[in-house]
Amino acid sequence: MSRNVFIKGTGSYAPEKVIPNTYFDRVGSNDKWIYNTLGIKERRIVEDETTSDLAAKAGLEAIKDAGLEVKDIDMIVVATTTPDRQAPSCACFVQEKLESYQAVAFDVAAVCSGALFTISVAHEFIKTGRYNNVLVIGADTFSTITDWERRDSVFFGDGAGAMVLSYTEEDKGFIDFDLHSDGRGKEHFTIPSGGSENPATKKSVKNKEHYFQMNGKEVYNTATKVVPESINAILKRNSIEVDQLAYMIPHQPSIGILKSIAKQIGLPFEKVTTNMDKYANTSGATIPLVFDETHKAGKFSEGDYLLFAAVGAGWTWGTALYKW
Ligand SMILES: CC(C)(COP(=O)(O)OP(=O)(O)OC[C@H]1O[C@@H](n2cnc3c(N)ncnc32)[C@H](O)[C@@H]1OP(=O)(O)O)[C@@H](O)C(=O)NCCC(=O)NCCS
């Protein structure tokens, strides 16, 4: 009897405050460039909420959507680069907010690939029979690590997405994962200080070393190379053709990157789910957030093949195949 792992419920949450592109005129950017190049119209940012606040709201919605109660959750895994504190984990903050003390809770760090990596961790725990219901959450507040005086402050927004993964004997759920990392890329997207290498000092704060630093060209070149490679590998390994895919649910780095990936693999862009226009890049949150919206818009039909794809700092990247 096969024990397949499927998405039983989804949820998402984004803070209320909207920052439109026109806000960035002050740093030498402009709406036309941001929309045409990145696909962003506006983003949400937190005012008095933390990452775990967003995560807990998305998580609770996913639990309800799954028809479960908080007490049914065996494990909570949170993908985030912007936890409430460096210690303890954001997942422990979420657990306290949900009062789900029966669940084991921990974080996974893979930056923009975080949600996909987190889903794969949850998948293994369920597949082996160790746990039945796992709450996976991607949540980030990059507004807290953004230098708002710089032009690259246009890229990110805050948000959270969640999924409850569970088991089924039906022929549906995750088919395969293809995950990769390459630490040689670590300088191309980084937060230089605040860790054990460069602990926080007055100088590190003055030099703004606690904000993210990104080499946009390297991100673009790497993403548009490694993601198509992973997609082609996972499709080949599972004997699935691109035209059998109903949707690709990718991480949302920029519309240019997504168009290049779709073109390289031969997927019509209408099959690529996007929500960058509303939220920008929400890092660990993007995949479960866009998935929740697409699912609740009624876009998926029984038997559809879905392709998840992510790339992020590290480098980290990968894909997953899913049968709805
Ligand atoms: C950011 C990115 C668009 C920059 O393009 P690039 O060709 O690599 O870099 P350049 O610095 O040469 O910029 C190209 C043009 O865009 C303009 N530009 C770059 N950033 C801009 C901004 N924030 N606002 C307005 N214009 C901007 C530059 O001025 C330049 O204009 P010019 O051709 O008139 O001189 C591109 O690298 C990219 O999409 N990278 C991916 C980044 C990403 O997705 N990050 C998030 C995931 S981690």
Q: 4 pairs with which residues across the strands? A: 168
Please say if 232 is a catalytic residue.
no
Ligand 1, atom 7: closest residue by C-alpha: 217
- The per-residue pLDDT for range 173-198, each reduced to its tens digit, is 999 999 999 999 999 999 999 999 99
Q: Who contacts 224 (Cβ-Cβ below 8 Å, separation ≥6)?
A: 257, 260, 261, 264
- Name, in order, each residue with C-beta under 8 angstroms of 236's C-beta and a sequence gap of 6 or more: none
In the chain, the amino acid numbered 292 is D
**C-alpha to C-alpha distance for 293 and 199, rounded to whole angstroms:** 39
Pocket test residue of 81, 190, 222, 254 for ligand 1, highest count of atoms within 8 A of CB: 254
Which residues are CB-neighbours of 200 under 8 A, at least 6 positions away?
A: 193, 194, 210
pTM here is: 0.96
The pLDDT of residue 120 is above 90: yes
Q: What is residue 2's predicted lDDT score, i.e. its pLDDT?
A: 80
Out of 27, 37, 142, 224, give the residue to mutate to test ligand 1, the one with the largest number of ligand atoms within 8 Å of its CB.
Answer: 37
Angle of the 51-65 helix axis to the 286-296 helix axis, nearest 10? 40
pLDDT tens digit string along 122-131? 999 999 999 9
The pLDDT of residue 190 is 97
DSSP label at residue 1: -
Q: Whose CA is nearest to atom 15 of ligand 1?
A: 33
**Residue 221 appears among annotated catalytic residues:** no
The single residue of 21, 188, 281, 295 carrying the catalytic annotation is: 281
Report in angstroms the alpha-carbon separations of 301 from 63, 143, 234, 309, 310: 22, 36, 22, 20, 23
Distance in Å from the first CA to the final CA of the chain: 19
Using a 6 Å CB cutoff, which residues line ligand 1? 29, 33, 37, 112, 151-152, 154-155, 189, 214, 216-217, 219-220, 253-254, 256-257, 281
In the predicted model, what is the mean pLDDT of residues 26-50? 97
Residue 232 C-beta-side C-alpha neighbours within 13 Å: 12
Q: Which amino acid is at 233?
A: A
Mean pLDDT taken over the chain: 97
pLDDT above 90 covers what percent of the chain?
99
What pLDDT is recorded for position 1? 66
pLDDT in tens, 287-317: 999 999 999 999 999 999 999 999 999 999 9
**Spacing of C-alpha 117 from chain mean position:** 9
Residue 186: CB atoms within 10 A of its CB come to: 11
For each of the domains in the chain, give its residue range(s) and CATH number, in order of start. 4-170 (3.40.47.10), 175-275+282-323 (3.40.47.10)
Ligand 1 centroid – CA 216 distance (Å): 7
Instruction: Give distance in angstroms: CA of 217 to centre of ligand 1.
Output: 7
Contact 162, 296 (CB under 8 A): no
Quick one: average pLDDT of 120-142?
98
pLDDT in tens, 54-82: 999 999 999 999 999 999 999 999 999 99
When pLDDT is averaged across residues 246-268 and rounded to a whole number, the result is 97
Q: 138 with 110: CB under 8 angstroms?
A: no
pLDDT at res. 146? 98
